Amino acid sequence: MDTMGIVGAGAFGTALALALSSRGREMHLYSDLPAVAQTINMLHLNPQFLPGIGLPLHCMGQDTLATAPDCKILFLSVPAQAIRSVCESLHRIPKTTPVIVCSKGIEASSGLCMGELAASLLPNPVLMLSGPSFAQEISRGLPTIVTLAGEENELLASLQESLETPAFRIEPCLDPIGVQVGGALKNMLAVGGGLVLGAGLGEDARAVLIARGFQEMQRIVQRLGGNPDTLLGMAGLGDVLLTCMSNTSRNTTFGIRVARREITVPLTPSAQGPLAEGALTAAGWPVFQKRIAPVETPILTAIHEALYANRSFAEVFAALLSHP
């Protein structure tokens, strides 16, 4: 059975390893924290990131990328702002190895989405895995459907056959632009939804923000050459509903806490709780916005300004209600 590797032993990477290992294949979980790799190997647990979930013996922790060239498929499940450095460290893997990017976001310095960034740094076939997929539910074997996006039908079909399990299903898609834009901006939209709730504006206002923000996402996908209808599937609407409406969403919770002034906005991952990728994506919004000009994005821009321009979100949102 082929070995597969997942760079990033956080909650999602660990849950993905567990799901894919159900077919008996050897999984290598790469962590930059030696203690995490050691605990996975000794106790078959990852209590720091996915507590209470046991891992099979053939899920192995690794604290270096030494075995990465042996993996037939490599997944990247690291924070979005770390994708560049991870890709630059993968120069030893065979050029034919598919690299599947699970990270969702926009690189703050370049304005590139994760698949675009990885493809600019690696000669390998780069694909995107996205969709509504909370780590806790995947790890419990609950039914999950995600989208796998790439540019080659034959490779997508082969990977779908290799990766699917009865509980972890995959929809192939030939629109990587639509999938990665959806994955990046739904996190930012969820932070905005949290800001609405935290400011006391209510559920009706959150629905307005989500609906209009979703329309902005579709216009952005079209501007970048993707298919706006891609966002009607798992990697768009499915992910938006889960992330924006769930009380366990890190991005929604983050927005609520910011609006209530319980935390300040971090520009990098910090000790203020689980990573909210939407906040870091919002930091790179001005660079990304230049790429998509002249698309109008009042909702997404308001979220950025509320986080990083010290504007009252309640006042910003009140003005948005009059926007056609």
Start-end ranges of CATH 3.40.50.720 in the chain? 4-176
Cis peptide before 269 (omega within 30 of 0): no
When pLDDT is cut at 50, 70 and 90, the band that residue 125 belongs to is very high
How many other CB atoms are found less than 10 A from the CB of residue 312?
12
Whole-number pLDDT of residue 39: 98
The letter for the amino acid at 47 is: P
Whole-number pLDDT of residue 211: 95
Among the listed residues 247, 281, 241, the one whose alpha carbon sits nearest the alpha carbon of residue 133: 241
Residue 95 annotated in active site: no
Whole-number pLDDT of residue 18: 96
The letter for the amino acid at 100 is: I
Whole-number pLDDT of residue 314: 76
Start-end ranges of CATH 1.10.1040.10 in the chain? 184-320
- Selecting among 72, 95, 104, 186, the annotated active-site residue is 186
CATH class of 184-320: mainly alpha
Predicted structure pTM score: 0.94
Among the listed residues 140, 131, 12, 128, the one whose alpha carbon sits nearest the alpha carbon of residue 77: 12
Whole-number pLDDT of residue 264: 79
Whole-number pLDDT of residue 268: 46
**Which residue bears the tokens 């609520």?**
256
- Directed axis angle between helix 298-308 and helix 313-320, to 10°? 170
Mean per-residue pLDDT over the chain, rounded:
93
What's the CA gap between 323 and 58, in Å, rounded? 55
CATH class of 4-176: alpha beta
52: left (phi over 0), alpha (psi -120 to 50) or beta: left
**Which residue bears the tokens 């698949």?**
115
Percentage, residues of the chain above pLDDT 70: 96
| Structure tokens given for 106 | 């926009």
DSSP character at residue 113? B
Mean pLDDT within 6-14: 97
Pairing of strands 144-149, 126-130: antiparallel
What's the CA gap between 122 and 116, in Å, rounded? 10
Mean pLDDT within 22-32: 93
When pLDDT is cut at 50, 70 and 90, the band that residue 317 belongs to is confident
Residue 270 has pLDDT above 70, yes or no: no
Mean pLDDT within 146-162: 97
Q: Is 149 exposed, middle or buried (0-12, 13-18, 19+ CB in 10 A)?
A: buried
Q: Is 248 exposed, middle or buried (0-12, 13-18, 19+ CB in 10 A)?
A: exposed
Whole-number pLDDT of residue 324: 60
Tell me the H-state helices in 199-261: 202-223, 239-245, 250-259
Higher pLDDT, 323 or 204: 204
Residue 86 has pLDDT above 50, yes or no: yes
Q: In sequence order, what are the beta bridge partners of 113?
A: 106
Helix (H) or strand (E) holding 46: strand 45-46
| Least confident piece of the model among 20-24, 262-266, 285-289 | 262-266
Among the listed residues 99, 100, 78, 96, the one whose alpha carbon sits nearest the alpha carbon of residue 148: 100
Whole-number pLDDT of residue 100: 98
> Using an 8 Å Cβ cutoff, are 210 and 277 in contact?
no
What's the CA gap between 121 and 89, in Å, rounded? 10
Whole-number pLDDT of residue 299: 93
Helix, strand, coil distribution of the chain in percent, nearest 5: 50, 15, 35
What residues have CB less than 8 Å from 265, skipping those under 6 apart? 258, 279, 307, 308
